[in-house]
Amino acid sequence: MIKLFKVLLFIFAGVFILLIGALIYMKFALPNVGPAPEMKIDMSPAKVARGKYLANYLSVCMDCHSERDWNKFAGPMVEGTLGSGGEEFNQKMGFPGTFYAQNLSPVGIGNWTDGEIFRAITSGVSKDGKALFSVMPHPAYGKMDEDDIKCIIAYLRTLKPVGKQAPESKADFPMNFIINTIPQKPDFHKIPDSTDLVAYGKYIYIAASCTDCHTKQDKGRKVAGMENAGGFEFPLPHGGIVRSANITPDKETGIGNWTEEQFVKRFKAYTDSAARNMVVQKGRFNTNMPWTMYAGMEEADLKALYAYLKTIPPIKNNVVLFSPKE
Residue-wise pLDDT for 24-76, tens only, equals: 655 656 588 999 999 999 999 999 999 999 999 999 999 999 999 999 999 99
For 149, 176, 180, the CA distances from 19, given in Å and listed in that order, are: 38, 15, 16
Average pLDDT over residues 196-217: 96
Helices and strands in the chain: count of H runs, count of E runs: 14, 8
Cα separation, 70 vs 103, whole angstroms:
20
Q: Give me the long-range contacts of 219-223 (CB less than 8 A, separation at least 24).
A: 219/94, 219/95, 219/96, 219/175, 220/94, 220/95, 220/96, 220/133, 220/134, 220/135, 220/175
**Greatest pairwise CA separation for the chain in angstroms:** 80
Is omega for the bond preceding 167 within 30 degrees of 0, making it cis?
Answer: no
275, pLDDT greater than 70: yes
Residue 217's alpha-carbon distances to 88, 93, 208, 225, 248, in angstroms, are: 17, 10, 18, 11, 16
Backbone phi and psi for residue 321, each to the nearest 5 degrees, phi listed first: -65, -30
**Partner residues linked to 215 by β-bridges:** 230
Q: Check residue 1 and give its pLDDT.
A: 61
Residue 220: what pLDDT?
Answer: 72
* pLDDT the model gives residue 32: 84
Domain residues of the chain, as ranges? Answer: 31-189, 191-326
pLDDT the model gives residue 25:
54
Average pLDDT score over the chain: 91
pLDDT in tens, 139-183: 999 999 999 999 999 999 999 999 999 999 999 998 999 999 999
Question: What whole-number distance in Å separates Cα of residue 250 and Cα of residue 15?
Answer: 46
CA distances from 63 to 30, 51, 104, 178 (A): 29, 14, 12, 26
Instruction: Say what the pLDDT of residue 59 is.
Output: 97
Closest Cα to residue 291, out of 310, 305, 271, 307? 271
Out of 175-179, 243-247, 314-318, pick the least confident. 175-179
Q: What is residue 318's predicted lDDT score, i.e. its pLDDT?
A: 97
Share of the chain above pLDDT 90, in %: 80
Quick one: pLDDT band at residue 218, thresholds 50, 70, 90? confident
Any idea what DSSP says for residue 296? T
The answer for residues whose C-beta is within 8 angstroms of residue 32's C-beta and 6 or more apart is: none
Cα torsion 25, 26, 32, 36: sign? negative
Amino acid (one-letter) located at 222: K
Q: What is the pLDDT of residue 92?
A: 85
The whole-number pLDDT of residue 221 equals 80
Confidence band, pLDDT 50/70/90 cuts, at residue 131? very high
Note the pLDDT of residue 261: 98
pLDDT exceeds 90 at position 315: yes
- Taking only the tens place, the pLDDT of each residue in 71-128 is 999 999 999 999 999 899 998 888 899 999 999 999 999 999 999 999 999 999 999 9
Strand segments, DSSP code E, in the chain are 88-89, 97-100, 170-171, 217-218, 221-222, 233-235, 241-243, 322-323
pTM metric for this prediction? 0.91
Quote the pLDDT of residue 219: 72
